Amino acid sequence: MSGTPHLSPRVPPPLGQRLKAEAERRGFALSGIAPATDANGFGRFADWLDKGYAGAMGYLHRHREERRHPRSILESVRSVLMVGMEYGGADPWDRGRPGRSSRPDQERPGRPRSQDGPTGRVAAYAAGPDYHRFLWDRLNDLSGWLEREVPGCTAAAVADTAPLLERDFARRAGLGWVGKNTLLIHPGRGSFFFLGAVLTDLELTPDEPFTGSHCGTCTACLDACPTDAFPEPGVLDARRCISYLTIELRGEIPVELRPGVGNWLYGCDVCQDVCPWNRKAAGLPVPFPHDPGLEWLDPVELLGLDEAAFRARFKKTSLWRNRRAGLLRNAAVVLGNVGDGRALPALERALSDDEVIREAAEWAIGRIRERSAESALATVRPPP
């Protein structure tokens, strides 16, 4: 007589595996676990600060030592879950095409202009809601899941603003390597993604770290940078970076760097756009909600915004970060680079605005009039 077959109890997957599955459910396509030890790249980070490459970002100096170990965020930390969420780059047709240039004297294909006339480009990550809140909501939800799953444990969710060397721990968690443009690159997902982390006092099984680099002899990102912001591969001089100049810098943009800003109104995607690894990521689903109305903005229209109008339009976006004075300063610089005489009335009105806006408007007016004079002179010169 045959007995009833014995059914073994179903063993749930390991906690780390379930945690990564929950991360994926919340839109994080990339996830990996690293042990909470000293950051391998802290020495390079400290040397970078000592060379002055951080520019006016004084907060990096103030919280320098806190980046040595993640215990500065969570004292009892033992494991770090690193996650990545795509936000998408340029148009998939255009993204990562080799041989392109984004220098201001060469037209670059890509996201279509939204209208005729002078327009300013916005980096892909900023063409939507403020990504900080978008990530924090999902990371806090993920850390809450972990604390419910293991009662008594502690978890802390962080993204961007915490003193954590995110790319260092992401590499150790197997998410990719740090490319020559200093960005984390995943072999199948490229580099257009946000990084976040959940720190916990649980001992989770770590993933294999990503070793080596797959940049090879390619220097596309270094060659394409309009302001030559890379003194050497893997080192960024933020003081020359368009993203720094248009977002972090509060005063006047150095005159010698303004032509390199081109028509970038907020941030820059050049070194990612030309990266061959981003061709592999073209067309992947992107959970981050884009706003087509933010991809290109009219600098002339921006110069007409007062504080109330600026707040109403940009308060819930990343563009709020550099406030009205910073964005309108950038708008004036873009107009000076584009060189369209139709912008002169708006620039002249800006001469009565905030000091940093006024100075940029004066420069732009001078550039436009200079080009106009050169053009007029060229038309009356006798043929050689």
Query: For residues 34 and 43, what is the distance between their CA atoms, to the nearest angstrom?
Result: 19
Q: Distance (Å, rounded) from C-alpha 117 to C-alpha 301?
A: 11
The helix/strand/coil state of 347 is helix
- Cβ neighbors of 301 (< 8 A, separation 6 or more) are none
Q: Which two tokens stand for residue 204?
A: 């989770």
180: buried, middle or exposed (CB in 10 Å: 19+, 13-18, 0-12)?
Answer: buried
Q: Is 38 annotated in the active site?
A: no
Say how many residues make up the chain: 384
**Closest listed residue to residue 99, CA positions, set 223, 208, 6, 212:** 223
Give the C-alpha separation, 92 to 101, whole Å: 17
The kind and range of the H/E element at 193 are strand 193-200
Question: Do strands 264-266 and 120-122 pair parallel, antiparallel, or not at all (unpaired)?
Answer: parallel
For 154, residues 6+ apart whose C-beta sits below 8 A from its C-beta are 74, 76, 147, 200, 201
Active-site entry in 91, 94, 130, 160: 160
Just list the catalytic residues: 160
